[in-house]
Amino acid sequence: MTSQQPARFGVWVLLPGSMEEILVLTAPAPPGDALPTDPESAGKAPADDLPRIAGSWHPWRWVVAAIALLLVAQFAHGLITNPGWDWGTFAQYFAAKSVLAALRVTIELTLWGTALGFAIGTLLAIGRVSNNPVLRVIAWTYIWAFRSIPLIVQLLFWFNIAYLYPRLSVGVPFGPGFYEFDVNGVISGFTAAVIGLALHQAAYSAELIRAGLLAVDDGQLEAAAALGIPRWRQFRTIVLPQAMRSILPNAANEVISLFKGTSIVSVMAIAELFYQVQVIFGRNGRVVPLLMVATVWYIVLTTALSILQYYIERHYAKGAHRELPPTPWQRVRAKVTEIAAGAAAPRGATR
């Protein structure tokens, strides 16, 4: 190596199938410096001379984020400054006794509709996968019929059931009755709403439960049968825990949809949340703030249902080779720790 030619070092790679050597990294050495000959020092270099990894730069991401934040800020400014929202009236009625009582009715309708709907839906799903052809036909016919009829039609039908059957009796089928009762005295508006919501929900619940049952591998049931495990125990300990992983996301959507769908029972003059809000703004004419009262309550309870859904799904996500997903609080702590570690790292470290 002559004194006029600066020393260079690099990494040489011999490509497979070729005798060519390609220099992939070179760097000039300062004039007058000799290459290290000591094997121990040959692989060492000062920390300042090590190549630094530069993070990728995505300017359009920040442009889009800035535009989104600008739109959100403009929307929030309109919510605060627009007098049409009338937040004073909103605050006055948000926790009013009549609104809270109507909210309780909405929650009761949701609970009864969910419990009865999924109970009937489970029986229908078992009938759909049964080996009994009669049960399969009955379950299929029920699901077909109740999915075909709009919910509001079903609700009005059950609300006027006394028109068809003024009195009902309990006794031997096609024989004498032991006890008779007046239908209007037993089936109130609330009861008719629960019946309509539950029977309607059962048709949809049956299909999503059936899909979850079919998602379980048949080989596990065959192995359980070979071990002599009873059918009910197979369903309770083997099928159901695995099927719940497929059932829960869709079931949570159905519950949330049912919760919001309870507003349709306002046509039956039942004092649920939306009906009560209509009564109030029918008296004072403050339509928008009263609608916001109902909207915020729907958002609050839907958020609570979503949180409950997350933790139930997390419970059923357990498995021998499956790690539980982190909770939102654990994710926040991990992100804060990551940011703190990045801020404490020396400048120029890899990213």
5 located within any domain: no
Q: What is the pLDDT of residues 285-309, one digit of tens each?
A: 889 999 999 999 999 999 999 999 8
Which domain does 312 fall in, by range?
87-170+179-341
pLDDT the model gives residue 115: 95
Tell me, what CATH number does 281's domain have?
1.10.3720.10
183 located within any domain: yes
48 located within any domain: no
Average pLDDT, the chain: 81
Q: What is the pLDDT of residues 21-48, one digit of tens each?
A: 444 444 455 555 555 555 555 555 555 5
Cα-flanking dihedrals φ and ψ of residue 44, to 5°? Answer: -105, 145
51 located within any domain: no
pLDDT the model gives residue 23: 44
Counting every residue, how long is the chain? 351
Mean pLDDT within 157-185: 80
Range name among 11-25, 164-178, 304-318 with the lowest pLDDT average = 11-25
36 located within any domain: no
- Are the C-beta atoms of 120 and 198 separated by less than 8 Å? yes
The number of folded domains in the chain is 1
351 located within any domain: no
316 located within any domain: yes
158 located within any domain: yes
CA atoms within 13 A on the CB side of 104: 6
- Are the C-beta atoms of 242 and 215 separated by less than 8 Å? yes
Residue 271 has pLDDT above 50, yes or no: yes
Q: What is the pLDDT of residues 191-246, one digit of tens each?
A: 999 999 999 999 999 999 998 888 888 787 778 778 888 877 877 777 777 888 88
Tokens of 92: 């006055």
